[in-house]
Each structure stands twice: as C-alpha cells, then as structure tokens.
Amino acid sequence: MRSEPKADGLLLVDKKSGITSHDAVERFRRRSRIKKVGHTGTLDPLATGLLMLCVGKATRLQAYLMGMEKTYEGTIQFGWATDSYDADGTPVGEAIEQSVEHIDFQPLLPPFIGDLEQMPPQFSAKKVAGVRAYELARKGETAALTPKKVTVYEFEILSVQGSTAKFRVRSSAGTYVRSLAHDLGAAAGVPAHLKELRRTRIGSFKVEDAISFEKMSEADVGEILVAPQFQSLSEVDLPLEKVRIDWAAQGKLMRGQSVILTPAVPVKAGDLLALGNPHDQLIAIGEVANVLRVNGPAEIRPKVVLAG
C-alpha cells in the first residue's frame, strides 16, 4: 500500500474554462494521492484564472483565506440577457448583438461601487431550504433568494468595441460578477450577460504566479510541490497581523494552551493573529482572548494549530 505524500501549503493554479473548481481539486487529489485538498473560493465553470488549492495542513487555513478580496477582468456581451447571467445560460429573448459604442458607461457605474445588497442569480449555488438554487432553476422553479451584502471596491470599463465591453472589478469575496454584468445592462437599457471572466488576483496572490491547469495535470507531482507555484506554510501570506513567538510559546500552543504575547500593534478581544516561530514558520492562528493592558501584553488562545 502506497503511503500518502507529505505536503502542506498552497498551490496556485490557473484554472481553464469548462471545468469546475471541484474538478481541479479532484484532479490534483487523485494525481498527488494527498487526501486533504480544498480551495479558497469557487470559480464558475465558464471562468478562468486564479484558483488557490489548500494542501494538507493548509486546509485548516481555508476559512481565513476565503475572505480575501478578489480582482477580475472580463467581457460583457450586450444585446441579450441569459437566465444564468453568463454565456453558459439560455438566452432570454432573441440573441441579437447590439452596439454600445455610443453609451457613456461612466455615469452608470457609481451605483455598482461600494457596499451593496446584491441579489444572487437564480442559477447559483445558494441554498434555499437545503436545496441549491440552480437545482430549482433547472426544474423551472424560482428560489426565494435574499440579497447578500458585498463590497465592490472598483468597477471600471476598460474598453468598448461593438457589442462588447471589457471591464475590471475588485470586490469582496462572494460577489457575483455576472450579476454586475446583468445589472449594468439593465442600467444601460441594453440586455447583457457575462461573456468571459478571468480572476487575476486573490488578496496579494496573482495569477501570473500560478501553474497552468494543463501542467498541473501532466507534470510530476514531486516537481509541482517544489515549484514556485507551491507555497509552503512558512511562505503563506495570510491577511492577518503577524506576531513572532519563541520556542516555549510554540510548545504551549501545540499543547492547546494560551500564551501571553505583546503584539506590535494595538489589539482587542476577538482579533486574529498569525503566529510564527523564530524560523518564520507559521505555527498557528491565535485569537486574542483578553487584553491585559492597553498597547501591552495580551492573552492569545490557539484557534488553529499547524505545527506537529
């Protein structure tokens, strides 16, 4: 019986169009024989771009990586809408391309920037009474969806040519970019849907640093795990304040005990910290349980322990 390879970290993958995020996870899991593999945020099958796979102990970090902001670039097709708001859906009405070169989009964008109450598409993975909305939509039923709070930091039209417009969006996790495309069409008075989408960034991680899906599927797994596209736990840049700890503190954290530390920045109860040992290895995610003195020491409780 072959043993499971030892690997803990993040693999940056450039997902190709036509496969689900789950497909990419399963492909790597089968090839690597590593049981614990997950991802930090779904990309629709239509979309390409950055997909971060959490491998081994890094799966414990998924919850802290999923909330990072995302950046996308893509193309909006004007002339007809679809039931899924993207090119994979069925056209709503006659599919006729309509030039939008005469439209000034700039005044239309502000309502789509900032904190929004965004309605998920009917063809989405949102659950209603335990059932995925897209499962109901495929049966011709309408799911009772409710708006969700998202934040769009940037929404920019890069160019317009004929019936299409290229755009860039930087938003919070969970934003439906295809809803932005659909709603912009409504605001412009021309039905629209998302034609193409590519995720270029997740937090500080860039698609330029990712391995292609094809190479991930063909290269030797041992080579992948030492390639620049694979980041070990000590290299992972979490969106948390970092605190250096000593070996004694590491030992306590590994036993599930709290430690007393003095962070370099003011903290409050409930804050999360990335705790690294003297070798800069990420050891744990700690939660501030109690601040003993303003701008001074605080009691840190281990929330996720990666060492050992």
Q: Dump pLDDT digits (tens) for 148-196.
A: 899 999 999 999 999 999 999 999 998 999 999 999 999 999 999 999 9
Q: Checking DSSP bridges between strand 70-78 and strand 164-171, what pairing results, if any?
A: antiparallel
Q: Please give the pLDDT value at position 21.
A: 92
Nearest Cα to Cα of residue 186 among 115, 124, 105? 105
107 in the same domain as 63: no
Domain end call among 202, 219, 251: 202
What six digits make up the tokens of 289? 């349980």
Find the domain containing 26 and state its range. Answer: 9-68+204-232
pLDDT at 91 over 90: yes
CATH number at residue 221: 3.30.2350.10
Q: CB 251: neighbour CB atoms within 10 A?
A: 14
86, β-bridge pairs: 194
120 in the same domain as 21: no
Q: Does residue 44 carry a catalytic annotation?
A: yes
Q: Checking DSSP bridges between strand 127-128 and strand 131-132, what pairing results, if any?
A: antiparallel
208 in the same domain as 194: no
Domain end call among 232, 250, 285: 232
Q: 9 in the Ramachandran plot: left (φ > 0), alpha (ψ -120 to 50) or beta? A: left
Q: From CA 118, how far away is CA 166, in angstroms rounded?
A: 21
Kindly report, residue by residue over 5-64, the tens digit of the pLDDT: 568 999 999 999 999 999 999 999 998 999 999 999 889 899 999 999 999 999 999 988
Look at residue 95 and tell me if it is in a domain: yes
| Marked catalytic residue, from 8, 44, 86, 183 | 44
Q: Please give the pLDDT value at position 1.
A: 41
Q: How many domains does the chain have?
A: 3
157 in the same domain as 113: yes
Q: Please give the pLDDT value at position 225.
A: 87
Which tops the pLDDT comparison, 131 or 260?
A: 260
3-state DSSP call for residue 150? strand
Look at residue 111 and tell me if it is in a domain: yes
